[in-house]
Amino acid sequence: MTRITNKRKIAFEKYDVDKTYSLKKASEIIKEISFCNFDTSVDLDIRLGVDPKNADQMVRGVVGLPHGTGKDLKILVLCSPEKEKEAKNSGADFVGFEKFIKKIEKGWLDFDIMITQPSLMSDVGKLGKFLGPRGLMPNPKSGTVTDDLSKAIDEVKAGKIDFKVDKNGIIHASIGKVSFDSIKIEENAVKLIDSVIKLKPSTTKGNYFKSISISSTMSSAVKIDKTSISDL
């Protein structure tokens, strides 16, 4: 029999795991049931009524969260020599090309976002077996393949995230930190949900949004009442 920790008992006293709550209330609860001794991430899980096996039902997009993610992301920019100064001045953590290509091939992956130029994608594409499974491959649709490096870096630092539905039809995305006040968590969640709504495939039948829940690192999930979100 699984033992319930004291912290988990306290959490269960604050909300009913079988009940659904408004997004506003759920954003408040998630702060109350997070007991880690570090600033944990807050995640939103959206289960969609789509079949990702069908290309026309693959839901993927980017969104700029109004309050950012709270994460200090390490940005790697693979670029031509004449663009290195622009990337460094814009705040990229790692800038270069051949040196980092070789490092990645040897297993180095100490970065969160990679940005590169269209003219270099033929070489970057060769790193797909290293980057693809980890979600680190640059993509024109997410704005990480561009010649406007300063804009791309600024957007990432401002809180732009890339999201897509997984093989089970679920979008899982970090929308902030537990240290955020509940209003900021709620507003970031609304922004993501609105973006997903706009990407609804025309071939989708039945309920597009099946369920939504919010959680933090090592906490239980709080179910969100879909009727509390005006556009659903």
Six-digit token pair at 222?
A: 């709080």
160 closest CA partner among 94, 67, 88:
67
Phi-psi group of 218: left, alpha or beta (phi > 0 → left; psi -120 to 50 → alpha; rest → beta): left
User: Is the CB of residue 232 less than 8 Å from the CB of residue 209?
Assistant: yes
Question: Can you tell me the distance from the alpha carbon of 61 to that of 63, in angstroms, rounded to the nearest whole number?
Answer: 7
* Residue-wise burial string across 98-132, b where 16 or more C-beta atoms lie within 10 A, e elsewhere: eebbeebeeeeeebebbbbbeebbeebeebeebbe
- pLDDT of the chain, 232 residues: tens digit per residue: 455 566 666 766 778 888 999 999 999 999 999 887 888 999 999 999 999 999 999 999 999 999 999 988 899 999 999 999 999 999 999 999 999 999 999 999 999 999 999 999 999 999 998 998 888 999 998 899 999 999 999 999 988 998 999 999 999 999 999 999 999 999 999 999 999 999 999 988 889 999 999 999 878 899 999 988 866 6
Domains observed in the chain: 19-69+160-228 (3.30.190.20), 75-158 (3.40.50.790)
Report pTM: 0.82
